[in-house]
């Protein structure tokens, strides 16, 4: 996945409102370019529009203002806070499926899925049905599935809210390595640990009124001296 030099999502002057009059804007004039090798933290108070913006980035919600362009984004994977799975299917089946869909033999798909489960600390749950997983386990499973499906654009809602410190750190490491392998990763979060583990910050409070527009394009929260392709 290292050859997606053109992969990016650009948002230009994007604003959104669910109010028919368009007066009560959640955010406006939001202008940012999202690229691989960065992990974007999307922050703001509850109800400020984080999930709405994830949906706009994914292309599932059309913003009332501005332009969103996606270049070479490939598969979009959205990992919800309370993800849906197939209740009776095993954890490992959920991760093996994308490999099988790409034509791998079931045995190979299963062993690659097991590797990913191991990486996400879920190996011991491999044969549990999805319905018996906790919320945090189900979410990590969906992250593993996002890796298996080679998502070009990974949108994650509160990945660490339900996790202990060590597991949260592991998930943050995975988000980082996913971005380095070529995915665009955007994480909506209230968790300061996750925010600090991200490379860039998009704080919706900076885009809530006219006066503050365009003041915070890609604020760096940590400079990794990374090379953007």
Ligand X SMILES: Nc1ncnc2c1ncn2[C@@H]1O[C@H](COP(=O)(O)OP(=O)(O)OP(=O)(O)O)[C@@H](O)[C@H]1O
What one-character DSSP code corresponds to residue 226?
-
Where b means 16+ CB within 10 Å and e means fewer, 172-192 reads bebbbebbbebbbbbbbbebe
- For 5, 35, 73, 96, 123, the CA distances from 1, given in Å and listed in that order, are 10, 13, 11, 19, 25
At closest approach, how far in Å is the CB of 163 from ligand X?
17
Instruction: Give SS3 for 194.
Output: helix
Q: Which is nearer to ligand X, 49 or 98 (CB)?
A: 49
63 binds ligand X (CB under 6 A): no
Place of tokens 């913006």: 53
What one-character DSSP code corresponds to residue 132?
G
Over the window 66 to 105, marking each residue x when it contacts ligand X by CB under 6 A and - when it does not, the resulting string is ----------------------------------------
Retrieve residue 71's tokens: 């270049």
Q: Which is nearer to ligand X, 34 or 202 (CB)?
A: 202
Number of residues that bind ligand X (CB under 6 A): 10
At closest approach, how far in Å is the CB of 202 from ligand X?
12
Q: Which is nearer to ligand X, 90 or 189 (CB)?
A: 189
Contact 16, 52 (CB under 8 A): yes
Residues 6+ apart with CB under 8 A from 101: none
At closest approach, how far in Å is the CB of 50 from ligand X?
4
Question: In 3D, which of 31, 35, 16, 30 has the Cα closest to residue 184?
Answer: 35
Contact with ligand X (CB under 6 A) among 5, 18, 212, 220 = 18
What one-character DSSP code corresponds to residue 223?
-
Q: Which is nearer to ligand X, 131 or 205 (CB)?
A: 205
Over the window 20 to 59, marking each residue x when it contacts ligand X by CB under 6 A and - when it does not, the resulting string is ------x-----------------x-xxxxxxx-------
At closest approach, how far in Å is the CB of 189 from ligand X?
9
Q: Which is nearer to ligand X, 30 or 147 (CB)?
A: 30
Give the whole-angstrom CA distance, residue 80 versus residue 13.
Answer: 26
At closest approach, how far in Å is the CB of 206 from ligand X?
14
Q: Which is nearer to ligand X, 93 or 206 (CB)?
A: 206
Query: In the complex, which residues of this chain contact ligand X (CB under 6 A)?
Result: 18, 26, 44, 46-52
């Amino acid at each position: 996945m290292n050859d997606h030099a053109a992969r990016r999502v650009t948002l230009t002057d994007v604003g959104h409102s669910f109010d028919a009059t368009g007066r009560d804007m959640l955010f406006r004039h939001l202008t940012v370019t999202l690229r691989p090798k960065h992990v974007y933290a999307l922050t703001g108070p509850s109800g400020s529009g984080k999930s709405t913006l994830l949906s706009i980035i994914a292309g599932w919600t059309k913003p009332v203002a501005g332009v969103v362009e996606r270049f070479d984004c490939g598969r979009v994977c959205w990992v919800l806070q309370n993800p849906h799975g197939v209740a009776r299917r095993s954890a490992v089946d959920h991760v093996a499926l994308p490999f099988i869909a790409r034509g791998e033999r079931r045995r190979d798909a299963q062993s690659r899925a097991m590797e990913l489960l191991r990486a996400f600390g879920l190996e011991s749950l491999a044969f549990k049905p999805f319905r018996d997983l906790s919320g945090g386990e189900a979410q990590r499973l969906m992250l593993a599935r996002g890796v298996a499906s080679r998502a070009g654009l990974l949108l994650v809602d509160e990945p660490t809210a339900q996790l202990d410190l060590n597991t949260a750190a592991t998930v943050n490491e995975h988000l980082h390595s996913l971005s380095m392998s070529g995915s665009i990763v955007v994480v909506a979060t209230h968790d300061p640990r996750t925010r600090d583990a991200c490379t860039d910050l998009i704080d919706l409070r900076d885009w809530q009124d006219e006066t503050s527009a365009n003041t915070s394009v890609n604020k760096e929260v940590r400079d990794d001296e990374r090379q953007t392709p």
